[in-house]
Structure 1
């Protein structure tokens, strides 16, 4: 699936539905209008975008803004970054500290990870075929690892404000 089609689908819902739980339901509805192959392509693109944010610098900012961030929490956080829309997502890739300018409170979106799964099951009556994805994922975050003690030196303004 092309980037523009993916983003159009996501933003067609997120820009007009303010309640996060309703966003998930509406996204399942929108993705359910796709063919089974397109739903798989949607999931493929979602995984690829999620991998782009599997970086230590983004994890550091998530850790600061949330007062901590576990492995699972970071996975859900990265899913939520996509829900912010293309412009905010790309700004985050360029400057992770920009998250502080738009990040809503209680920001995490575990349910977004399963939008394609739910849509696929709704359309086909079958479980999502993970074996059809061309995706292995990264084993480790990209970039330089950090310790909590390093964060005030790396992100002094964010730490002063949020940590």
Structure 2
């Protein structure tokens, strides 16, 4: 599965199902109809694109949306959620994190208390496990740790993932002037005060 096929599957998932659970179910079913090699390749492409989003500027955008603080795990989940927005929105956000302000998914959060975001929450951690689940279905095994799957993904990626920190220069959205300059729309939509 090349990058275009990966994004086509994500886009089809968006068309076929609503909400994170419905999309996961659809995606799990679609991946379960493919070869184990394609399922591994799907995960490898997912790992590659989420690595593209591993930047300090996008982390700051997540911080702004979440009210001034986003944990390590929260940011990983946020990057997976961005994949679920589709290729165009994802690519625009990687190039300019403030572009997230134009997405309907982010606009739907404005003015609502975080406690009621529920299915609209900008995080999708379970996307990171759907390929492993489909692989288990295809292999007919319940490998809870996914060792064979992750070994295959590692081999697909050429071994040894990149464990470096986020790209770019770290900055803090609690510095109002910097946040207003770097994320003007998100800063206005999700004020910290």
Q: TM-score range by the shorter chain?
A: over 0.9
Distance 1:160 1:19 in 2: 27
Taking structure 1 as the reference length, the TM-score comes to 0.92
What does the per-residue CA deviation read over 1:23-57, in whole Å, with 9 as the maximum and x for residues that have no partner? Answer: 11111011111101111111000000010000000
TM norm structure 2: 0.78
Say which SS state the counterpart of residue 155 (structure 1) adopts.
Answer: helix
Query: How do residues 101-120 of structure 1 correspond to structure 2 at under 5 angstroms?
Result: 101-102=102-103, 103-104=105-106, 105=109, 106-120=121-135
Task: Verify the 8 A CA contact 1:9 1:31 in the aligned structure 2.
Answer: no
CA RMSD of aligned residues (A): 1.5
Find the counterpart in structure 1 of residue 112 from structure 2.
none
Kindly state the Cα deviation for residue 154 of structure 1 after the two structures are TM-superposed. Answer: 2.6
- State whether residues 50 and 79 of structure 1, in contact with CA within 8 Å, keep that contact through their aligned partners in structure 2: yes
Greater CA drift, 103-112 or 35-44? 103-112
Q: Tell me what 2:151 maps to.
A: 131
Deviations 1:66-122 (A, max 9, x none): 112110000000001111001111111111101122134411101101110110011
Deviation of 1:17 after TM superposition, in Å, equals 1.6
Q: Which runs of 5+ in 2 are unaligned?
A: 110-120
Kept in 2, the 8 Å contact 1:61–1:96? The answer is yes
C-alpha contact (below 8 Å) 1:65/1:100 kept by paired residues: no
**Larger of the two Rg values belongs to structure:** 2
1:1-163 equivalences in 2 (<5 Å): 1-67=1-67, 68-102=69-103, 103-104=105-106, 105=109, 106-126=121-141, 127=143, 128=146, 129-132=149-152, 133=154, 134=157, 136-150=161-175, 152-156=176-180, 157=184, 158-163=186-191
Distance 1:48 1:97 in 2: 22
Q: In the comparison of the two structures, how many residue pairs are matched? A: 162
Distance 2:39 2:16 in 1: 22
